Amino acid sequence: MRSYAEYCAIAKSLDVVGDRWTLLIVRELALRGACRYTDLRNGLPGIASNLLAERLRDLEGAGVVVREEAPPPVATTLFRLTPRGEELRPVLDDLMRWGLPLMADQAPDDAIRSHWLAAALELMLTDLQPDESPVTVELRTGDQPIAIELGDGAIEIKLGPVESPDAILAGPPRSVLGLLVGMLELADAEAQGVSFEGDPAVLRRFYGAGTRISRTVA
């Protein structure tokens, strides 16, 4: 993209990361750590291969990304954020926070990746009953399961299955999120295709976290 040619910090930032796809590439590296070219393609459905290569070159030139050759036996090239690139996390966090209300509209052709959902949940969820016993929930939505672990007032969200979950939640992402966040009652969520196994009381641990979001939606 052409430079804005403005002596302004915001414009100069956008000169670096304002191109189409660029911030989403940074998002992938921030959420998933070092990635192979193929991993990035998978996390950026629809990107043209030449664009991904070009953006990675540009980001490398700007000092945001480094390319490193993994040693044998893997022997593949990895892309990783530099410290300067890591400093973009606040920008990503704010953009994610601002975009949370927009998760209310899930377009039929929206691609879905569980690590995007996990990042959103990390911003939204709080344990409303931190004194209760620890609880684990497995989410089955997106391209891989998500593990939620409540305990000691903290919430941990990881990718991957849960050993013996106290509850299992499956269904369309929008409805699963809506239920967790308290915008949807269990009955409504189930009407939208959500299946819930376990003790419904577990959901109360999250309820209300979403009222703050709901208020944001115009």
Interacting stretch for DNA, rule CB under 7 A, among 23-31, 45-53, 126-134, 205-213? 45-53
Rounded CA separation 161/139 (Å): 8
| Per-residue contact string for residues 74-113; x = within reach of its own copies by CB under 8 A | ----------x--xx-xxx-xxxxxxx-xx--xx-xxxxx
In the complex with its own copies, which residue's Cβ is closer, 132 or 140? 140
In the complex with DNA, which residue's Cβ is closer, 47 or 92? 47
Rounded CA separation 114/102 (Å): 17
| 218 binding its own copies? (CB under 8 A) | yes
> For residues 17 and 64, is the Cβ–Cβ distance under 8 A?
yes
| 48 binding its own copies? (CB under 8 A) | no
Number of residues that bind its own copies (CB under 8 A): 54
Which of its own copies, DNA, none is residue 216 near (CB under 5 to 8 Å by kind)? Answer: its own copies
Give the position of tokens 């016993």: 133
Give the position of tokens 């893997």: 74
Say which residues have a Cβ less than 8 Å from residue 164's Cβ, sequence separation at least 6.
136
| 51 binding its own copies? (CB under 8 A) | no
Which of DNA, its own copies, none is residue 8 near (CB under 5 to 8 Å by kind)? Answer: its own copies
Rounded CA separation 162/165 (Å): 6
Which of its own copies, DNA, none is residue 139 near (CB under 5 to 8 Å by kind)? Answer: none
Site for its own copies in 120-149 (CB under 8 A): 120, 123
Q: Is 46 exposed, middle or buried (0-12, 13-18, 19+ CB in 10 A)?
A: exposed
Rounded CA separation 82/105 (Å): 34
HEC per residue, 118-133: HHHHHHHCCCCCCCCC
In the complex with its own copies, which residue's Cβ is closer, 36 or 115? 115
> For residues 66 and 23, is the Cβ–Cβ distance under 8 A?
no
Rounded CA separation 77/84 (Å): 20
Contacts with its own copies, residue ranges (CB under 8 A): 1, 3-16, 18, 20, 23-24, 27, 45-46, 63, 84, 87-88, 90-92, 94-100, 102-103, 106-107, 109-113, 116-117, 119-120, 123, 173-174, 216, 218
Contacts with DNA, residue ranges (CB under 7 A): 1-2, 19-21, 36-39, 46-51, 53-54, 56, 67, 76-78
